[in-house]
Structure 1
Amino acid sequence: MVNHQTTIGEIDSINGNTISIRLFDNIKSHMPIIDGVVYRVGQIGSFLKIPLGYANLYGIVTQIGSSAIPEAFREVYASDYEHAKNTQWLSLVLVGEQIGKKFERGITQFPATNDKVHLVTIDDLDIIYGGLKEDDSITVGNISVSESLAAKLDLNKFISRHCAIVGSTGSGKSNTVSVLLEAIAKREFISSRILVIDPHGEYSEVIKGQSKVYQINESQSNNKLYIPYWALPFNELIKIFPGNLSDSQREYLREKIVEKKIESLTINTLEIEPEMITADSPVPFSIKQLWFELDDFERKTFQQDRVTECLVAVGDAALLKSSEYTPASPGGGAPFLNNKAKGLLNFLDGIRIKLKDTRYRFLFQPGEWGPDLDGKVNKDLDELLYGWLGDEKPITILDLSGIPSDIMVSISGTLLKIVYDTLFWGQNTAAGGKQQPLLIVLEEAHNYLKAGENSIASRTVQTIAKEGRKYGVGLLLITQRPSELDETVLSQCGTLIALRMNNSKDRSHIRSAVQDELQTMVDLLPSLRTGEGLISGEAVKIPSRVKFYKTSSAPKSSDPLVTEQWKKDSPSIDEYRKTIASWRTQNFNS
């Protein structure tokens, strides 16, 4: 039944799903009171209703004032200022319709000119935002236009169709992510899987009871983050070491790594055909033994017969100690250099330096995943992945804050590739993504997903964005610089949560990612409150302005309360001593 109190105007022109509405002159106030509730007319982002018999069409206000005047009337109003001043216009974008008590996105019928337009009441909002099954949704906050209404997301579409959270520094991104993770964790699914790639260690203190945190600098071995070097693709492994290689040197190294991996098949009882092994295969091998053999070959000198080696002292692969040979004669006589050497000594010295660097222990000394000199490992990748994805707690946080910045892109990309390849190739098993879907959360995504960059991280995330839905792998990207993100990845995110954003370049990037008719709503972003955002896309029935809940435990990225911290006593010299020790050891717990 139509409530005539809510009528505010009528349709004057229709252009696709964009409607131009002329407000009635007899509206006494832009804040009418209906059934004791105050409503505001003509707010950008607010809803209006167009009754059509048994159905109601709903739309979002995108323009008000002179910019909303239909093209055909602009010349008339330009010459008649008084008439223009007393006539008010709105532009409306149709987004869905209600038949009976059910609301659906999309339009099956269109209004006609002179059809009446109504305010949307609280009862209407209940219909728009209601209807999601409790089992299929999570509640993350309140609808800004009516704080009595809970803001819900369709969990199936939120995860499987990917999501991006964007916003300037201080807009509330970390809080929003924490609220989303808490809402999923509280659902207490028996086997939910969420993997958070956390480059700055922001989330280690959040939702402690529902998450397991792996850290580079963790003292407890069962919570220590190890990433075995032998699981890295060949190009990413070689990239870690300083120096340049010629094409022939690179292929020589590739062949030697393949040989080592084939040798370890028998040692580790891996049932793989040797012909299937490549330098990229995640098969264990000893990089120390490989280094020693290559280094030894490069250093060899020979006596007059060019067969007998001039060995002085045998080195030690475990200690990364080179063998000693009698130096070659500079005059052309014996001892002779190895004329088959590949000129790799400088590169091999770089490998030794990296292997001894304590910052890279998580990679080259990966605990029980570290091969002995024969290539034998105590634990394989199945136990590593089971620890990350099979824990009884729904959320696993991989804290990468201790990883050197120069290899952050390679390591984060390798992590993602290991996980995705496992779920892709295991799609027909109970642990595959189809049987047990996974949500991957990428904090500070712009750091390793830069537009135009051909890194392993960028390639892997692009693959997940394009194909992950088919294999049960969803993405949640968080960034403060969407303009630096690869457009392919952003365009594949079915749900967009945009928090306050002041940078015009970033806003224009977001504008290109939303449907054309709603692009004017992006102009609202600078005026949003902290912790408030616009949600559009697959996970919501209708684009919504939402005030997110405040999480009970703030992430580490939260700003310190200066006035509170400065009331404390000044730290003693012992505290500065601990600080310097932490810096020197690259360990937060020193």
Structure 2
Amino acid sequence: MKAKGAVGRIYGEATSTEFSFVVFDPREVRRTDYVKVWNDVEGWVIAQVLEIKATADLSGTDILEGKDAEKEMYIAKASVIGRRDDDGMLRTPKTPFAPGENVFKAEEDFIIDVLGLKKDGIYIGYLQDTNIKVKLDVNSLVQKHCCILAKTGSGKSYTAGVIVEELLEIGVPLFIIDPHGEYSSLKFPNDDEFDLERMKYFNVNPKGYENVVVYVPPNSPFAEVADGVLRLDGKNLSAEEIIELAGISGNSSQALVYQAVKNLKKRGVDYTVEDVICEVEGIKHNSKWTVLGCLEKIVEVGFFDGTPTPVSMLLQKDRAVVLDMRGTPPEHQDLMVSRICNELFELRKLGEVPPGMIVIEEAHNFIPERGFGRSISTQILRTIASEGRKFSLGLMVISQRPARIDKNVISQCNTQIILRVTNPNDINAIKKGVEGLTSETVDEIKRLPPGTAMVVSPELEKPVIVEIRVKRSKHGGVAVNVVDVKKEKIKKKGFRLSKNKKSEFEGKGIKVAVERKVLKAKSKSDVKLEQSNLVESEEFEEGKRTSKNKKSIFKKMFGV
């Protein structure tokens, strides 16, 4: 018997870990929804819908003849999550669910409790298709590292920007390695008209962060608009650093550098690149003139001219320091990251800088997987990934090529935020580096729309799908169109409201009207779902903006 409020009943075989149920109304249940069902031993238990299938009593001949189905059935498959006991521990049933048991939509408080969602923490967005805010524990995120993985255009940098905003709100010291100049815009409030409307949806307000300081390398074309030029201390560079920076190839040429540095270290005094040049000049070898030419280029770049910037200034409480490396050659970027991260780690171990986080964009360039190139910054970043939590120095690694980033570093990240990934090699890399992923969750990663992420964390009982919130500050990673298409005004655009958000918007004075046009139906009781065209329109008090049949919000937000 159908109980009041039930959305289905358990059908066929059921175990203690999964079951299928007949869906009464396919409009009420969707894939990834959370449902609850009664277990005779454990009581109310939460499960998640993995898939929904439709069946009908039609043969192939019936379909060819254009006959309509006399009876349709929708079957949902659900995976059991469990319930919390009196001690707060998650319990999963050990006895199967009874066929015929009614299935209900799970209440929000029940979902929050069972999934282990935090009521306090950094707010990154809504649990998909709900009004539940997803908040991550800041200590776990920072101290135990975080990675953000996605294909290009899925919103990885945008998501990282949201997290950076939240960390700035609570004063976490941040040092951001920014190869493409995407984070300088944190200084300015988000003034995009479309985003401003979306802020009502996510309950945030535009804001620029004055405590963001932007440095650039020497000779950067953006020095005039930066807050300062970051100069490195050129003393006691390792042979590997000099070879990388100078671009010296060939075993004999590299051997000269190693010999020169070895000789200087034996003297027990500090040395500079100029000292290495003098030492090489004194070595009798045919390759030395090529080496000297490469070393002279280091001096010409001016990396080590003037007073070096104190590295301790790069990690300060209530501040984010952005190293904007646009226009800087990759080998120079690599050297800067290596030198700075080495010094920051040593300073943190000595307690001379506060606990904080290093954010690394395009991390595959600095921590490449073996077989995908080399980087002199790899070793220190691996060390921070494995030992940084002991000294409260965290990493946030961001990459659109999961297959090309060091798997050891990914596996050290307790919080993994994965947006859409479709490349088979990248998918395999994620499966190897991220614990707790099932075949169903991996398939879900391939289907994620832009701006929607799967969050995996030991703080959560299972991976959850999150609609990433709008940024308060201006986004600096917007792609430039080859052909400039004039945008319509926001009042003509509007946006779609998910069904679960309607009540929230109505509470804020926004009326939601739903008009259903039935194109073909035999009777009121036999309206086919596929013959209905649902048109949603939203009327706002200000301007009476109207929207019909719009594309996905996040496709517009991320420019894809």
State TM-score, norm by structure 1: 0.66
- How many residues align structurally? 439
Alignment of 1:1-20 (within 5 A): 5-6=5-6, 8-10=8-10, 18-19=17-18
State the Cα distance separating 1:443 from its structure 2 match.
0.4
User: Is residue 356 of structure 2 the alignment partner of residue 349 of structure 1?
Assistant: no
| C-alpha distance 183-231 of structure 1, shift in aligned 2 (>3 A) | farther
Q: Name the CA distance, whole Å, in 1 between partners of 2:88 and 2:424.
A: 35
Q: 1:173 aligns with which of 132, 144, 156?
A: 156
State the Cα distance separating 1:349 from its structure 2 match.
2.2
Number of the residue aligned with 1:409:
334
Q: Name the CA distance, whole Å, in 2 between partners of 1:47 and 1:153.
A: 20
Q: CA RMSD in A?
A: 3.5
Number of the residue aligned with 1:205:
185
Q: 2:315 aligns with which of 360, 369, 389?
A: 389
| C-alpha distance 556-492 of structure 1, shift in aligned 2 (>3 A) | same
State the Cα distance separating 1:130 from its structure 2 match.
7.5
Q: Name the CA distance, whole Å, in 1 between partners of 2:415 and 2:14.
A: 28
State the Cα distance separating 1:343 from its structure 2 match.
4.8
State the Cα distance separating 1:420 from its structure 2 match.
2.1
Number of the residue aligned with 2:245:
240
Alignment of 1:117-136 (within 5 A): 117-128=103-114, 132-134=118-120
Number of the residue aligned with 2:34:
47
Are the equivalent residues in 2 in contact too, given 1:229–1:237 (CA < 8 A)? Answer: no
User: Is residue 530 of structure 2 the alignment partner of residue 546 of structure 1?
Assistant: no
User: Is residue 307 of structure 2 the alignment partner of residue 368 of structure 1?
Assistant: yes
Q: Name the CA distance, whole Å, in 2 between partners of 1:418 and 1:558.
A: 33
Alignment of 1:448-527 (within 5 A): 448-452=366-370, 453=373, 455-515=375-435, 518-527=438-447
Structure 2 residues without counterparts, runs of 5 or longer: 56-70, 188-208, 488-560
Are the equivalent residues in 2 in contact too, given 1:143–1:149 (CA < 8 A)? Answer: yes
Are the equivalent residues in 1 in contact too, given 2:7–2:25 (CA < 8 A)? Answer: no
Q: Name the CA distance, whole Å, in 1 between partners of 2:332 and 2:142.
A: 29
Number of the residue aligned with 1:308:
none
State the Cα distance separating 1:482 from its structure 2 match.
0.8
State the Cα distance separating 1:209 from its structure 2 match.
1.3
Q: Name the CA distance, whole Å, in 2 between partners of 1:141 and 1:215.
A: 32
Number of the residue aligned with 2:192:
none
1:280-299: CA deviations, max 9, x gaps? xxxxx23224423542x35x
Are the equivalent residues in 2 in contact too, given 1:18–1:517 (CA < 8 A)? Answer: no
Structure 1 residues without counterparts, runs of 5 or longer: 32-38, 68-84, 265-284, 299-340, 370-382, 568-590
Q: Greater shift after overlay, 552-561 or 396-405?
A: 552-561
SS in 1 for 2:379: helix
| C-alpha distance 8-448 of structure 1, shift in aligned 2 (>3 A) | same
1:136-182: CA deviations, max 9, x gaps? x1111112221x22121111111222211111221111211111111
State the Cα distance separating 1:509 from its structure 2 match.
2.6
User: Is residue 230 of structure 2 the alignment partner of residue 225 of structure 1?
Assistant: yes
SS in 2 for 1:403: coil
| C-alpha distance 243-488 of structure 1, shift in aligned 2 (>3 A) | closer
| C-alpha distance 451-5 of structure 1, shift in aligned 2 (>3 A) | same
Looking at both structures, which has the greater relative contact order when contacts are Cα pairs under 8 Å and sequence separation is at least 6? 1
Q: Greater shift after overlay, 506-515 or 525-534?
A: 506-515
User: Is residue 450 of structure 2 the alignment partner of residue 530 of structure 1?
Assistant: yes
SS in 2 for 1:456: coil
SS in 1 for 2:378: helix
Alignment of 1:101-116 (within 5 A): 106-107=90-91, 109-114=93-98, 116=101
State the Cα distance separating 1:558 from its structure 2 match.
0.6
Are the equivalent residues in 2 in contact too, given 1:132–1:154 (CA < 8 A)? Answer: yes
State the Cα distance separating 1:91 from its structure 2 match.
4.2
Give percent identity, aligned residues only.
23
Q: 2:127 aligns with which of 128, 139, 143?
A: 143
Alignment of 1:271-282 (within 5 A): none
Are the equivalent residues in 2 in contact too, given 1:243–1:346 (CA < 8 A)? Answer: no
| C-alpha distance 163-222 of structure 1, shift in aligned 2 (>3 A) | closer
Q: Name the CA distance, whole Å, in 2 between partners of 1:11 and 1:155.
A: 42
State the Cα distance separating 1:220 from its structure 2 match.
8.4
Q: Name the CA distance, whole Å, in 1 between partners of 2:72 and 2:299.
A: 78
Q: Greater shift after overlay, 437-446 or 553-562?
A: 553-562
State the Cα distance separating 1:400 from its structure 2 match.
2.1
1:367-423: CA deviations, max 9, x gaps? 213xxxxxxxxxxxxx61221113x54211112224212343343233322322332
| C-alpha distance 95-243 of structure 1, shift in aligned 2 (>3 A) | same
Q: Name the CA distance, whole Å, in 2 between partners of 1:14 and 1:408.
A: 57
Are the equivalent residues in 2 in contact too, given 1:93–1:517 (CA < 8 A)? Answer: no
Number of the residue aligned with 2:259:
252
Number of the residue aligned with 1:278:
none
1:205-230: CA deviations, max 9, x gaps? 22441311111232489721112232
State the Cα distance separating 1:480 from its structure 2 match.
0.9
Are the equivalent residues in 1 in contact too, given 2:37–2:45 (CA < 8 A)? Answer: yes
Number of the residue aligned with 2:277:
291
| C-alpha distance 170-417 of structure 1, shift in aligned 2 (>3 A) | same
Q: Name the CA distance, whole Å, in 1 between partners of 2:257 and 2:483.
A: 57
User: Is residue 167 of structure 2 the alignment partner of residue 184 of structure 1?
Assistant: yes
Q: Name the CA distance, whole Å, in 1 between partners of 2:3 and 2:264.
A: 77
Q: Greater shift after overlay, 485-494 or 170-179?
A: 485-494
Q: Name the CA distance, whole Å, in 2 between partners of 1:132 and 1:196.
A: 26
Number of the residue aligned with 1:327:
none
Q: Name the CA distance, whole Å, in 1 between partners of 2:235 and 2:174.
A: 25
Q: Greater shift after overlay, 235-244 or 192-201?
A: 235-244
Q: Name the CA distance, whole Å, in 2 between partners of 1:565 and 1:63.
A: 38
Are the equivalent residues in 2 in contact too, given 1:50–1:111 (CA < 8 A)? Answer: no
What is the identity, as a one-letter code, of the residue corresponding to 2:388?
G
Are the equivalent residues in 1 in contact too, given 2:239–2:258 (CA < 8 A)? Answer: no
Q: Name the CA distance, whole Å, in 2 between partners of 1:541 and 1:231.
A: 48
Q: Name the CA distance, whole Å, in 2 between partners of 1:145 and 1:250.
A: 60
What is the identity, as a one-letter code, of the residue corresponding to 1:184?
L
